[in-house]
Amino acid sequence: MKKITLIFSVCFALISCNAQKESTKSNYETSISQTKNPKLVVGIVVDQMRYDYLTRFYSKYGDGGFKRMIREGFNCKNNHFNYVPTYTGPGHASVFTGTTPKYHGVISNNWYDKVQKEVVYCAGDNSVKSVGTESAAGQMSPHRMLTTSFADENRLFTQMRGKTIGIAIKDRGAILPAGHTADGAYWFQGKDEGVWITSSFYRNDLPKWVNDFNSSDVAESYFKDWNTFYDINTYNESGSDDNKFERGFKGKEKATFPYDLAKLKDENGGFDLLKTTAYGNSLTTDFAIAAVKGEDLGEDTVTDVLTLSYSSTDYVGHNFGVNSKEVEDTYIRLDKDLERFFQFLDTKVGAGEYTVFLTADHGAVNVPAYLQSVNIPAGYLDYNSRKKKFVAFLEEKYGTKEVVENVSNNQIFFNKTKIKELNLNLHEVEQDLVDEQISYDNIAKVYTATTMNSTNFTTGIEALLQNGFNQKRSGDVIVLDDIAHIAYSRTGSTHGSGLNYDTHVPLLFFGKGIKQGETLQKTVIPDIAPTISALLGISFPNGATGMPLGFVLD
């Protein structure tokens, strides 16, 4: 009898235990399914998008792209970068890490490494191998970014169950946003290849869906005429098509529509030509759709992250300039690509089941030659003359130019070994160089590393400089040029300053968990990652300095 009772007790205990496990599992699944978390977060960065591209071209946009985000979501109209320099690498890193170069360490696209004594690339990594190409174009990783992205934090929070995929034509636009733990990051290798590639940092071979995409004729299909989407005579939001402020393409006498891309490709880098047209964004959208399908993103209750950067807008802006009809047409076509992508997500992931934000990595200055033609102060910098004058000063003052090791990114790097050898006082050398540089034409301000390290700036350009200053990686003297003065060709636009034309960029949120509305309250780029982290209920990126924008969350 005791045996029967014991067996019954053991069986009852096992049944109870199993029931408890099933109940716990069921409760866990229920709690997951009942959360407000989206199935997929899509972070979109449009390379070189000024805020006024939203308003200037608004009448040309359809209802399903930018306008849908504004209509259904939240528009932060006064969104800015809060650091200098405004370049692609730092921009993408800052959007997704929630901090500035001061902490994440990506101080430029390329910078002088004071330890290695050479210029390094923000995503370059010789320790990894290219995957999908025989060239060195795949030797990339995020190892120079010192902090986590919100995608990393989502991976940690979900015990690596939430996927992260990064996509961009530019390698740095794919790699830095996706962070250190991504399942994959893919970028476009042009020239004579026309394929999407990755690096061994992520995997040792391309997944089937990437190989299938590469073996299709999608990329090649864009070698066709690039003409305006609408009648060019209706493009009243931009300057004349035939002007002297645009560079254009080799093999075509004038930078005017239409462009026969099949005819131009051989003289313009083969598949690289596609990067520099509106069709590069269409190709990126095609690949993003393939990625969502191939990786089953947004298919379960664990949030996945897709980072998506549209690089071609930057190439077009650099080539044709802010006021060009080429830029206008590129944004009209990008709007159509966004609409196509959102419609796909509505069907694949489910309308109302995903969240999107859209911003930019920097803006751009209007072509200074154009500004000069309408009597606005602007101009071009002669770095060669400046360098000759500076070298002559160094040799006269110290007997050698070797007290300076490198000049790049508007920063002067000292040769501290040489300064010590000459028994010079470091702070006196700093001040000597400040006094010299500020006397040069078109230099507006000059600051020392000592000032950046010892003074807490809270407003003005000085605060932006300080947010972009990384003590271990930045230079010893920092130079600021005059407003709307650039070291660039007299055609096309560029960027990099802390002025409004470079710092004021869109910030749109829409989808699950987002309110409908708008604000003129100032927001800054590092606020984005903490906002998404708060939406997901996960840890902020470990170096985040931004604040969650509670007013955009539902």
Strand positions, DSSP E, 86-145: 110-113, 118-121, 130-131
Q: Which of 35, 55, 86, 88 is catalytic?
A: 88
Active site residue 494: no
Least Cα distance to 340 among 293, 290, 286, 376 occurs for 286
Within 10 A of 424 (CB to CB), how many other CB atoms are there?
A: 17
187 beta partners: 197
Q: CA 303 to CA 354: how far, in whole Å?
A: 9
Please state, in angstroms and as integers, the Cα–Cα distance from residue 464 to each residue in 17, 201, 496, 497, following that order: 59, 33, 12, 10
| 137, 197 contact by CB (below 8 A) | yes
Instruction: Please report the DSSP string for 237-252 in residue order.
Output: TS--SS-SS----TT-
Tell the residue number behind the tokens 């080429």, with chain if given.
326
| 270, 251 contact by CB (below 8 A) | no
Q: CA 283 to CA 220: how far, in whole Å?
A: 10
- The greatest distance separating any two alpha carbons of the chain, rounded to the nearest whole angstrom, comes to 107
Burial of 464 (0-12, 13-18, 19+ CB in 10 A): buried
Residue 275, token pair as written in the block: 């990067």
H or E element: which one contains 221? none
Bridge-based pairing of strands 477-481 and 443-448 is: antiparallel
Give Cα 246 to chain centroid, integer Å: 24
Within 10 A of 552 (CB to CB), how many other CB atoms are there?
A: 27
- Start-to-end CA distance of the chain, whole Å, equals 62
Q: CA 500, 328, 306 angle in degrees (round to 5)?
A: 75
Using DSSP's 3-state secondary structure scheme, residue 326 falls into helix
Q: CA 442 to CA 378: how far, in whole Å?
A: 10
Catalytic residue set: 88
